[in-house]
A and B are shown apart, each in its own frame.
Chain A
Amino acid sequence: SQQGEEDPQALSIQEGENATMNCSYKTSINNLQWYRQNSGRGLVHLILIRSNEREKHSGRLRVTLDTSKKSSSLLITASRAADTASYFCATDEGYSTLTFGKGTMLLVSP
């Protein structure tokens, strides 16, 4: 069953603006990961945050994790048209697999 649930389902912004996506999950995790999927393509790993970490940065990406609320957020700063894609959170619960949410579709307009 789905573990992560992303919010919002769809997000439309202008280039240069920041985009924030949220993910909630239900059970204990080892880590939480964010992936990007361009239309018709495979998923690409963006960033991983471990259960004992609260915040992590990678370039224009900032991920936070609140294990007490079982939630995470992905912030993309200074968005570009090339950031247009679907974004998925996935949780590693220690069962040798990942459980994915349904994703957030981000549209960045020039």
Chain B
Amino acid sequence: NAGVTQTPKFQVLKTGQSMTLQCAQDMNHEYMSWYRQDPGMGLRLIHYSVGAGITDQGEVPNGYNVSRSTTEDFPLRLLSAAPSQTSVYFCASSYKSSHRDGYTFGSGTRLTVV
């Protein structure tokens, strides 16, 4: 099993550009989430999904959009990139009950907006 796969690993964008961060999991996990990690801030939740067709906002959703058309995929879209969105982005997934195995994280996407 590949686990959680994130692409790309690195990306540089110009202010105002849009892009999609890809996330795919092959563990048949119901739950998927996107976090951003900034120095000294820990991980903050952007958006999450409890199943195909269902998404909801987290703590810092502004400037981001998500969709969940399949169980496996949960892409994160940056609508118009801003320097404040420079960060490391992590996708995570879990079974419906995190009691079972906790969350599995991808290796991250390091995004720089100039």
Contacts and interface: CB of A to CB of B under 8 A. Distances in A.
Interface string A71-96: 00000000000000000101010001
Interface residues of B, number: 27
Interface residues of A, number: 25
Contacts of B105: 35, 42-44
Contacts of A102: 40-42
Interface in B83-114: 90, 92, 98-99, 101-108
A45 to B, nearest CB: 4
Interface of B: 4, 31, 33, 35, 40-45, 48, 50, 56, 58-59, 90, 92, 98-99, 101-108
A48 B98 contact: yes
A97 B42 contact: no
